[in-house]
Amino acid sequence: MLRTHTCGELRIDNVGEEVILAGWVQRLRDKGGMLWIDLRDRYGITQLSFEEGMTPEALLNQARSLGREFVIRVVGKVIERESKNDKIPTGAIELKVTKLEVLNAAKLPPFMIEDETDGGDDLRMKYRYLDLRRNPVRRNLELRHRVMRETRNYLDGHYFIEVETPVLIKSTPEGARDFVVPSRMNPGEFYALPQSPQTFKQLLMVSGFDKYYQIVKCFRDEDLRADRQPEFTQIDCELSFVTQEDILNTFEGLIHHLFQKVKGIDLPKLPRMTYADAMRLYGSDKPDTRFGMQFVELNNLVKNKGFKVFDDAELIVGINATGASSYTRKQLDELTDFVKRPQIGATGLVYARVNEDGSVKSSVDKFYSPEDLAEWAAAFNAKPGDLLLVLAGGKDKTRKALNELRLEMGTRLGLRNKDTFSALWVVDFPLLEWDEEAGRFHAMHHPFTSPKPEDLELIDDRPSDIRANAYDMVINGVEVGGGSIRIHDRRLQEQMFRLLGFSNDEAKAQFGFLMEAFEYGAPPHGGIAFGFDRLCSIFGGSDSIRDYIAFPKNNSGRDVMIDAPSPIADAQLDELHIKLRNITASEKK
């Protein structure tokens, strides 16, 4: 080894020892008679000292010639620091250098390699290998490592076996867009990169591997946001001979284990909420339950009073922002502008303040008497100082908009603390959702999700009312995991494909191998997949999964460091039998 110790290892007990360190120059402080260098590696920082009259002049000059991020190796004696630094573990000692070797000089970095850097996102993405030297980024990846290690520890302790599944698979029409890979050996044919190992893990159940897991890379060609990347990691699991209850208990145990081992937090038992209640009370199938502010429906109280907006609305629903009656007109106008944004889609906002004397003042006073408004306050269980915020319109659109307003108010009122964790299961999802544009059903989870057994009788006459044997885990308003009991019977799977608009030939072409496997003794089985990157971001208190991926893509799906994706040579295209048409300027955008 080129070193005897790391830069985070030495303590006061090492005083008097001769040691060898290697690392990067973090900073240099030259006070004339004294020179100090902070030497950094992955493990920490050790201060190096040089002193005029005590350090040979050639060595002192060599030290003064160093720049930031030079890679050096030093030999020296550990001494006690006169002025100790209690902010770092090595702050009681320093190294009196007797020999210095430059292993590699460095250009001046394009941004400061410090916890608080002057580099913007784009610059740090371009030089990601430098950004990874910064402590916050390194700590994120160390946290990711701990979550991965503890996941394996838990699953190994529950007799799961880790099995790798193929990365080059068959393209399927359901879900997000596939990334496709041309096959040179099979001209005109393509592999797809897996959006998940779904069919393979079901085949493993048919094969008798009754407890499978994989920490697996998955790929989806979809528009990006803070919690999406084109390539991401899942904790992918499947079990045989189990019920939904078995799966919920097993993986609630995993989450309890991870929080205890990684965060030192003992989560309470996870409550369960039906999809119907989640949508009714929160307008979302992934409710943030760190705070209340549940929806209150007002149709019976506010219709037929002459206020056309309410009279014509399918749904009138609101929330009680506790303690927010002091909001100014400017703040209320900001909230109105917020809900009218195109991505939220409300047409306006009605509000009512509960005054200190218990009276209620609203933005629609001319349509409602004081007695009417008192009934509003009672419906919301409002107290003096509360602010009622009400939206109206079509059911689905209004609930969606009020969910966004609720989250915004939770943020404004400081109710979404990243150090507070509220987890729950959402269950009893609809099996199918209707696509008006396509004129057919889509699977809400995926085509292999089993219906609730008690709802099977609805499959011919009321398919939209069938509930799925499916479940999601939600933490702080983020869906971190989801799964279902699978269909393991060929006839039921064929019925499901017909409901989804597949012809027999299409179903056979896409999934014939799976349906055939079901005829060779497929056990009842089910599973779940957790978004590993999302879990890491929740543990780390970040809104973006990108912070926990070593080499992420930007919002355009590009790796600006290596400049990918990029064109390939004509010779490669010819080899793959691919001819490119001209791409228009608008398509490039």
Q: Which residues are annotated as a binding site?
A: 174, 220-222, 229, 445, 479, 486, 531-534
Cβ burial of 387 (10 Å; 0-12, 13-18, 19+) is buried
Determine the distance from the C-alpha atom of residue 350 to the mean position of all C-alpha atoms in its chain, rounded to a whole number.
Answer: 34
Residues 405 and 337: their CA atoms lie apart, in Å, by: 11
Q: Which residue has the tokens 């590696």?
A: 41
Number of Cβ within 10 Å of residue 37's Cβ equals 26
Residues 562 and 552: their CA atoms lie apart, in Å, by: 11
Angle at 259 between CA 446 and CA 527, to 5 degrees: 20
Strand duo 296-297 + 315-321: pairing: antiparallel
Q: Which residue has the tokens 């210095």?
A: 100
> What are the residue ranges of helices labelled H in 353-470?
370-379, 395-412
| Tokens of residue 400, six digits | 């969606």
CA dihedral 58, 61, 62, 64 (to 10 degrees): 160
Distances (CA, A) of 355 to 234, 296, 363, 382, 467: 50, 20, 14, 10, 44
Residue 100 φ then ψ, to 5° = -135, 135
Residue 565 φ then ψ, to 5° = -75, 160
Point out the annotated binding site for ATP: 220-222, 229, 479, 531-534
Which residues are CB-neighbours of 298 under 8 A, at least 6 positions away? Answer: 310, 316, 317, 318, 376, 379, 390
Number of Cβ within 10 Å of residue 16's Cβ equals 9
Residues 378 and 188: their CA atoms lie apart, in Å, by: 67
Number of Cβ within 10 Å of residue 502's Cβ equals 20
| Tokens of residue 230, six digits | 């084109």
Determine the distance from the C-alpha atom of residue 475 to the mean position of all C-alpha atoms in its chain, rounded to a whole number.
Answer: 10
Cα-Cα-Cα-Cα dihedral sign, residues 260, 261, 262, 263: positive
Number of Cβ within 10 Å of residue 582's Cβ equals 5
Point out the annotated binding site for L-aspartate: 174, 220, 445, 486
Radius of gyration, alpha carbons of the chain: 30
